[in-house]
Amino acid sequence: METLVKKIDCKNIDINLIREAAQLIRAGELVAFPTETVYGLGADALHREGAEKIYSAKGRPSDNPLIVHIAEFKALEKITAAVPQEAWKLAEKFWPGPLTMIFPKSSAVPKTTTGGMETVAVRMPDHPVALALIRESGGYIAAPSANTSGKPSPTLAEHVYLDLKGRVPLILDGGGVGIGIESTIIDLSEKVPTILRPGYITKKMISEIIGEVRDDPGLISEDAAVRPKAPGMKYKHYAPKADLTVINGPQKQVIKKINELSAEKLARGRKVGVIGTDESISCYQCTCAKSIGSRCDEDAIARHLYGILREFDDMEIDDIYSESFATPRIGQAIMNRLLKAAGHQVINV
Ligand code: TXA
Ligand code: MG
């Protein structure tokens, strides 16, 4: 299959191109498209074959459910069996935006879309291309991140192309995404609403609207017996090819430790990469040190994380040492992704 990459101007949407993409979705095909978080690999959420194509293109286990993307609030009714009051409050505040909510599903949603589950994850993305595509395609697009399973999520159309060329007929290239890490997922079916995946919308932001919220114990536990409730969180995700270690502690000691470790590896003929910040980058002796952005700009850190991991892959780096980025607001989400990429290898100094 030939993969076409077509540029689309987010400020001046070419509706003919959107219709061309929507026709593919309606015909049961796949289309990759930008959202504000990461690029998605879309198919018609209400048709069995759509989801099946997604699983096979990504090499994704078919018990890992997909998020259904909608463009109108009223679209919720058709695909859910019940919508609690809290959900409407959260939707009003955060949709369109990077928040995914879990609901009991209606019979309109095939089990292939939900990975066999009786619940359905839904979000309304805050991106003009995504919203236009959803509307023209019939209102319901199932879309996981558009990477091959196990790779960092794509923040550029080029990433999608490298991962999925030959397996998707069309990629809409809307340029770099705004946020760079996937949406927050919240499950409202529990007594206390539970965050299954941290993201740009934080626990604090959510609890300001609906009161008490907790983290899924499976999310933070290092004990493998505690299973995360979002099936996708159990897989070793976001993994770069290199061996990644996070160094945690006061800045000066972190830099010293990373320089020592890099020197040891370099002496053994390994290719080493370092993830630092604008403030620290000049302190690293290693030639492959990259800045993820300024420590004062946590949005930039989130936006650059996956791209840097991919750049190191392209350079065939053997070992990556990264600073820790437990920044005040979205630090939990950033560290969730970074620690997964590192397989929880952390050195405290
Ligand atoms: O920002 C995002 O959410 C991006 C963009 C494209 O919208 N999408 C995304 O999808 O990250 P994906 O498939 O890569 O991650 C979806 C996560 C998985 O961990 C999956 O297990 C979980 O959501 N999930 C989906 N439906 C669920 C359900 N019914 N119950 C529990 N977890 C669910
Ligand atoms: Mg994903």
Concatenated DSSP letters of 148-178: -TTSPPPSSHHHHHHHHTTT-SEEEE--S-S
Which is nearest to 338 in space by CA: 237, 235, 225, 231?
Answer: 237
| Residues with C-beta atoms within 5 A of ion ligand 2 | 145
- Which pLDDT does position 226 carry in this prediction? 67
Q: Which atom of ligand 1 is nearest to the CA of 105?
A: 29
Which is nearest to 246 in space by CA: 336, 179, 149, 155?
Answer: 336
Domain containing residue 272: 243-348
Give distance in angstroms: CA of 264 to centre of ligand 2.
34
Q: Decide if 227 is inside a domain.
A: no
- Which pLDDT does position 63 carry in this prediction? 86
Q: Which residues have C-beta atoms less than 6 Å from ligand 1? A: 35, 37-38, 40, 64-67, 98, 100, 102, 114, 117, 119-121, 125, 143-145, 182-183, 185, 196, 229-233
Mean pLDDT for all residues in the chain: 94
Pocket test for ligand 1, best of 36, 100, 172 (most atoms within 8 A of CB): 100
Task: Give 87: exposed, middle or buried? Use CB within 10 Å, 0-12, 13-18, 19+.
Answer: buried
In the structure, what pLDDT confidence band is assigned to residue 229 with cuts at 50, 70 and 90?
Answer: confident
The angle at the Cα of 176, spanning 164 to 205, to the nearest 5 degrees, equals 110
Which is nearest to 51 in space by CA: 38, 40, 37, 62?
Answer: 62
Do 30 and 90 belong together in one domain? yes
Distance (Å, whole) CA 51 – CA 41: 10
CATH of the domain at 253: 3.40.50.11030
Do 213 and 307 belong together in one domain? no
**Final residue belonging to a domain, choices 158, 185, 219:** 219
Protein residue with least CA distance to atom 10, ligand 1: 144
Give distance in angstroms: CA of 116 to centre of ligand 1.
14
Q: Which atom of ligand 1 is nearest to the CA of 120?
A: 29
Do 158 and 268 belong together in one domain? no
Number of domains the chain is built from = 2
- Which pLDDT does position 62 carry in this prediction? 83
The angle at the Cα of 292, spanning 286 to 293, to the nearest 5 degrees, equals 120
- Which pLDDT does position 233 carry in this prediction? 73
What are 136-184's pLDDT values in tens digits? 999 999 999 999 988 899 999 999 999 999 999 999 999 999 999 999 9
What are 27-74's pLDDT values in tens digits? 999 999 999 999 999 999 999 999 999 999 998 888 899 999 999 999
In the structure, what pLDDT confidence band is assigned to residue 201 with cuts at 50, 70 and 90?
Answer: very high
Do 289 and 170 belong together in one domain? no
Give distance in angstroms: CA of 123 to centre of ligand 1.
10
Output the six-digit token pair for 68.
């259904």
What are 247-287's pLDDT values in tens digits? 999 999 999 999 999 999 999 999 999 999 999 999 998 88
**Residue 291 β-bridge partners:** 276
Taking a C-beta distance cutoff of 8 angstroms, is the pair 40, 32 a contact? Answer: yes
